[in-house]
Amino acid sequence: MSRKTERYPVTAANSLWQIYKTVPFWKVVKNFIVIQIARYTPFISVKNWLYRTFLRMKVGDETAVALMVMMDIMFPERISIGRNSIIGYNTTILAHEYLIKEYRLGDVVIGDEVMIGANTTILPGVTIGDGAIVSAGTLVHRDVPAGAFVGGNPMQVIRE
């Protein structure tokens, strides 16, 4: 149950110095504006419309994304959230990692009827199975089995 990421080596300076070689500047600007509007929008249907329309994210019906959720600014299209799920307040969902000698990209797949607690961070390349519950403040650094209850930093399975 490791993370599934694609690795891209970089030369010279760290990968963040080379950011606009990996993602277009104007895409980042547009994504930043849309994500900031969505973070403060209290209307769930409007928020989901913004994600689907402008960020090309897959967001299932009846899914609720709370206030202040931070979607990946560089690659939001690599995030998929199933039907009737809840993403808790101030959660961060990343589909990229910029490191010293490489950057990594990975799809984040969140299943149906998943509950993500507040202040959780989800790293790239992670799949969270249907019906899983992630407690508040968790660092999701590997896949979560369907129906599992997980929590902590580092994340541990509390109940299968």
The residues facing 115 across adjacent strands are 86, 133
Q: CA 134, CA 52: separation in Å to the nearest integer?
A: 24
**Per-residue pLDDT tens for 88-106?**
999 999 999 999 999 999 9
What is the structure's pLDDT at 98? 95
Domain locations in the chain as residue ranges? 6-159
**Per-residue pLDDT tens for 26-64?**
999 999 999 999 999 999 999 999 999 999 999 999 999
The C-alpha angle 85, 87, 79, rounded to 5 degrees, equals 85
**Per-residue pLDDT tens for 71-89?**
999 999 999 999 999 999 9
Output the six-digit token pair for 141: 């650094």
What is the structure's pLDDT at 3? 86
The fold for domain 6-159 equals: UDP N-Acetylglucosamine Acyltransferase; domain 1 (2.160.10)
Q: What is the mean pLDDT of the chain?
A: 96
Q: What proportion of the chain, given as a percentage, has pLDDT over 70? A: 99
Quote the pTM value.
0.96
What is the structure's pLDDT at 2? 65
Q: CA 90, CA 45: separation in Å to the nearest integer?
A: 18
Report the SS3 class of residue 32.
Answer: helix
What is the Rg, in whole angstroms, of the alpha carbon atoms belonging to the chain?
15
pLDDT confidence bin for 143, thresholds 50/70/90 = very high
